[in-house]
Structure 1
Amino acid sequence: MRIGMILDKTYPPDPRVENEAVSLIENGHEVFLFCLKYANEKGEELIKGIQVKRYISNKFIYKSSALAYTIPVYSKLMSNKIRHFLISNKIDIVHIHDIQIAKAAFKAIKKTGLKTILDLHENRPEIMKFYPHLQKFPGRYLIAIKKWKQKEEEFIKKATKVVVVTEESKQEIINRVGVHSNKIVVVPNTVHQSYVNNATFNQEIIEKYSTQFTLLYVGDTGLRRGLSTAIESMDVLKEKIPNIKLVIVGSNSSDVFLKQQVADLEIQDYVDFEGWKNENLFPSYIKASSICISPLHRNLHHDTTYANKLFQYMSFGKPLLVSDATAQKNIVEKAASGLVHKAEDIVDFTEKVLELYHVKVLQSKLGENGKSFIENEFYWEKTSKDLIELYANLNL
C-alpha cells in the first residue's frame, strides 16, 4: 500500500511521525511524507525508508496556518500542494497528522474516493486555550477556538479511521462526538526497546549531580506544565534535604516567570535551568536523577494525553512523581512506577518527595516496576501493533 502522510511542519524531527512511518514500512508498505521546507532543504530525500517530499512554504503561509479555520487562505494554498503530492506519488491512502492541515487535506482528496486516517497527536482545540498569543489582541479575536473544535469533530466523523494517543482521549471523543469505538485506534507515544541499549552518556552531566538528590524535569517548560509547583516546594524541601536540586531541562518563553519565582524565593542554589538540550543528552540527565517529575496542571488536554518523557524516565528505572492529570495518573498507577500528587498542590508535592527521599526501598521498587513495565508491556514495537492491524484490515 502506498501511504501518503501529511505533515504541516518541517521534517525531521517528529518522533511520532517517524515511528509510525518506519513501522508501516517494516510491514511491507511504502510511505511518502508530505512536509514543508523554508530554506535550502532537499526537495526529496529518503530517510529511514520514508520517501520525504518537501514543499516550499514561507513566513506568510506559516502565520496563516493559525487562521486555518478563520479564513481559507492557508487551506487553499496547502490543498493545491497536497493534491500534487497525492497524484504524483500515486497515493492509495491518506494519513493526516493533526487537524491544522486536515481541512486542506480533505479538500485535496475530494472526489478521489481515497480513504483517510486522521492522526490526532493531541487535543489541539483544548491546548490552544493556553497559547500566549491567543490570550491577547489580535489572536484572541482572530482565532476562534470554538470553530477549531467544530472542525475537529467534523473531520473525526469524515475520516475512515481516527488514531489517538491514549485510551482517555478515545473515550472523550466517543462521548463528545458520538462515533463508534471501532472507529478509533489508540497508538501511544512509547519508546523503542533499544532506547536504553543505544543510549550514550555524558559523564560530565552524571558527575555534576552525583552527590545531589535530584528532581528532574525534561521537556517544554510552559506554565501549564506545573513547574511553579515544584519550584515553590523547593523552598521547603531545601530545609529537609540539604543536597536537593531541581534540574529543569527544557525551555519556553514563559521561563522568565519561573526564573523570577526562583529569585524571589532566593533558591538559586537549588534550581538549575539547563535550557533546551539535544534529546541525545536526556539519558544522561535521567541517569543522574533521583526522582523524575511531571507536575502537569489539570485540564481536558492534559487529562487525555501523556508525555513521552514518562516512558523515557521509566526506561532507566527511575521513580516518578506526577500530578493527578488523569491519563498520566492512570498509566503510572497501572505500572506502579511512581507516586501521584494533587495538581498545583505544593504541600502534597512536598510530602510525596519526602516520602520517596526517606523510603529508599520505595524508590527502588517503583523504579524497577517502571523499567519492567516498559521492557515487557509498553514499548513501541508492541504498542504499534494496533496501527499495523488497522492498515492490514483496510479494504481499498
Structure 2
Amino acid sequence: MQHENNSSMRIGMVLDKTFPPDPRVENEAQYLIEKGYELFLFCLTYDAQKVGLEDYRGIKVVRYLSHRLLYKSSAMAYAFPYYKLKMSAKIKEFILSYQIEVLHVHDIQIVSAACRVSKTLKVPYILDLHENRPEIMKFYPHLKRGLGKWLIDTDRWKAAEEKYSSLAERVIVVTEGAKEDLLERTNILSQKIVPVPNTVLKAFYTKYSLEERIAEKFEDDFVLLYIGDTAIRRGLLTVIRALPELKKSIKNIKLVVVGKSTEDYILRAEVDKLSIQHIVSFEGWQHEKLFPSYILTANICISPLHRNKHHDTTYANKLFQYSSLGRPLLVSDSTAQKEWVEKHQVGLSHQAEDIVDFAKQVKTLYRQPSLMDQMGEKGAALIQSDFNWDKTAKGLSEIYQQIKKTR
C-alpha cells in the first residue's frame, strides 16, 4: 500500500485498559500505520514484567503499570480526582518519551486526564467515542446496587462527555445517529464530528477457516444465532421466552448463544424454568476466528437489543459480521439497527422486548426460505461494496490530513 507523506506526525493512542484485545483500536491503529503515520499506543498492564515498549503487529504498544485500585477508581473518574491525577502523570510521560504530536483518546473515562496534559503540553487530542457511555452505564449491574449506586453519577459522565467533546480537535463516533445526538447537546461544529462505524475487515469474510465440528453439531437444526455480550439489555430473554411457541411450528429450532456476561445465570435460570435446555446451546465466549463457522451454521442471525439511547444510536459489530457471510438478520427496533437492516433489505425487525412479535418474525422468515436467501445475498454484497473497514475508515485518514494542514 502506498503511504501518504505522514512520516513527520506521531500519533499517540490512549487506552485505559490492557491491550490486546480491542478490535476497534487495533483496526484503527493498523489503518493509520498503513497510511504512513507513526503510531504509539498507550495502554495498561497489571504485570510489572510487561511494562515498556513492544511491537504488536506493527503497533508500538507502550504499557504502563496499573493496579486494581486504579482500575476500580476509573468508574469514579468524574467524582474523585485520584484516577485523573494518576493517569495524567502517565500520559505526560508517554507524550514526552515518544514525542507525541497528536493524542487519539479512546472513550471518556480517561479523556479528562488526557485533556489536562493536552493543555499543559499543547498537544491536541481527538476523542474517539466507542459508545454512548453515560447512557449505557445506567444498565451496568454494579451501578444498580451497593456503593456504585451512590458514588457513580451518570449525569456527571454525560456532562464530561459534552465538555471534553467540545474541547477536542475532532470527535469520532460510530453512527450518524450518535453524531446527531452529540450535536443536539453541544455547540460543536458538525464537520468536527466524524462517524466511523465498527465494520468488518475483509479478511473476516474472505480468509476464514471452517471448524467442521461446529457445522456437524448443528447440521440438523434451524439455528437462531446470537454472538456477543449476553447482558440482559441485549435482549436474549425475549428470544428464550419465545422458543416454546416457536417449537410448535419449527420442530428443529435451536438457539445458539456465542458469548457471555455476568448475567448469564438469569438466562440459564429462564431456560431451566421453561424446560427448554435441549433447544438452547450456550457456547460461552469463543475466539473471533470461530465466528464465521458459527455464522455459517445459522439460518437467522439475531440482535434483539432493548431500546435505550445507547442502542438506538450505535451499530453492533455483529450486524456486519452476520451479513458479510450472507445470513439474514432479525433485529429489534432499536433505531440505528432497524433503519440499517430495513433500508438495505438484509433482514426484518421486531418490537424490542416483544415475545409475540419476535416469534412472528421468525416464522415469517422460516416460511420463506427464498426471502432469507435474498436477504443474505444482499447483505453480503452490501458489506463487500460499502460496509467494510477499508471503506468506512476513510474518515480517520481525512481527520489526520486536516489536522496536519493546520499544524
Residue 355 (structure 1) aligns with: 364
Residue 334 of structure 1: how far off its partner (Å):
2.5
Letter in 2 for 1:388: S
The 2-side partners of 1:172 and 1:335 are apart by 23
Within the alignment, does 1:35 sit opposite 2:43 as a pair? yes
The 1-side partners of 2:16 and 2:393 are apart by 23
Q: Which moved more, 1:96-105 or 1:34-43?
A: 34-43
Is the 8 Å Cα contact of residues 124 and 168 (structure 2) preserved in structure 1? Answer: yes
The 2-side partners of 1:44 and 1:105 are apart by 20
Residue 170 (structure 2) aligns with: 161
Within the alignment, does 1:65 sit opposite 2:91 as a pair? no
Residue 297 of structure 1: how far off its partner (Å):
0.2
The 1-side partners of 2:201 and 2:364 are apart by 31
Residue 215 of structure 1: how far off its partner (Å):
0.2
Q: Give structure 2 stretches of 5+ with no counterpart.
A: 1-8
Is the 8 Å Cα contact of residues 223 and 255 (structure 2) preserved in structure 1? Answer: yes
Residue 278 (structure 1) aligns with: 287
Residue 125 of structure 1: how far off its partner (Å):
0.5
Residue 21 (structure 1) aligns with: 29
SS of the equivalent of 1:129 reads helix
Residue 171 of structure 1: how far off its partner (Å):
0.4
Q: Which moved more, 1:147-156 or 1:326-335?
A: 326-335
- Summarize deviations over 1:240-288 as a string: whole Å, max 9, x none: 1001000011111111111111111111111111111111111111011
SS of the equivalent of 2:108 reads coil
The 2-side partners of 1:377 and 1:148 are apart by 34
SS of the equivalent of 1:109 reads helix
Residue 343 (structure 1) aligns with: 352
Residue 321 (structure 1) aligns with: 330
- Summarize deviations over 1:102-138 as a string: whole Å, max 9, x none: 0111112223222110000001000000011100121
The 1-side partners of 2:344 and 2:386 are apart by 9
Within the alignment, does 1:8 sit opposite 2:9 as a pair? no
Residue 188 (structure 1) aligns with: 197
The 1-side partners of 2:369 and 2:158 are apart by 46
The 2-side partners of 1:146 and 1:191 are apart by 33
Letter in 2 for 1:230: V
TM-score normalised according to structure 1 size: 0.99
- Summarize deviations over 1:286-317 as a string: whole Å, max 9, x none: 01111000000000000010111111100110
Q: Give structure 1 stretches of 5+ with no counterpart.
A: none
Q: Which runs of structure 2 are paired with 1:47-126 in the superposition (5 Å)?
A: 47-126=56-135
The 2-side partners of 1:177 and 1:229 are apart by 36
The 1-side partners of 2:180 and 2:342 are apart by 19
SS of the equivalent of 1:18 reads helix
Residue 387 (structure 2) aligns with: 378
SS of the equivalent of 1:138 reads helix
Letter in 2 for 1:161: R
Q: Which moved more, 1:271-280 or 1:320-329?
A: 271-280
Within the alignment, does 1:152 sit opposite 2:161 as a pair? yes
SS of the equivalent of 1:247 reads strand
The 1-side partners of 2:50 and 2:322 are apart by 34
Residue 38 of structure 1: how far off its partner (Å):
0.6
TM-score normalised according to structure 2 size: 0.96
The 2-side partners of 1:302 and 1:89 are apart by 37
Letter in 2 for 1:200: S
Letter in 1 for 2:279: Y
Residue 43 of structure 1: how far off its partner (Å):
2.0
Letter in 1 for 2:180: Q
The 2-side partners of 1:189 and 1:327 are apart by 13
Residue 201 of structure 1: how far off its partner (Å):
1.2
The 2-side partners of 1:38 and 1:16 are apart by 22
Of residues 300, 303, 311 in structure 1, which corresponds to 2:312? 303
Percentage of identical aligned residues: 54
Residue 181 (structure 2) aligns with: 172
Residue 42 of structure 1: how far off its partner (Å):
5.1
Q: Which moved more, 1:41-50 or 1:101-110?
A: 41-50
Residue 6 (structure 2) aligns with: none
Is the 8 Å Cα contact of residues 51 and 65 (structure 2) preserved in structure 1? Answer: no
- Summarize deviations over 1:134-163 as a string: whole Å, max 9, x none: 001211111111111111110011001100
SS of the equivalent of 1:298 reads coil
Within the alignment, does 1:256 sit opposite 2:265 as a pair? yes
Residue 20 of structure 1: how far off its partner (Å):
0.7
Is the 8 Å Cα contact of residues 214 and 293 (structure 2) preserved in structure 1? Answer: yes
The 1-side partners of 2:398 and 2:374 are apart by 35
The 1-side partners of 2:313 and 2:362 are apart by 25
- Summarize deviations over 1:20-58 as a string: whole Å, max 9, x none: 111111111001100000113352111122111000001
Question: How many pairs were matched up?
Answer: 396
Is the 8 Å Cα contact of residues 51 and 64 (structure 2) preserved in structure 1? Answer: no
The 2-side partners of 1:163 and 1:238 are apart by 44
Letter in 1 for 2:394: K
The 1-side partners of 2:198 and 2:50 are apart by 27
Letter in 2 for 1:377: D
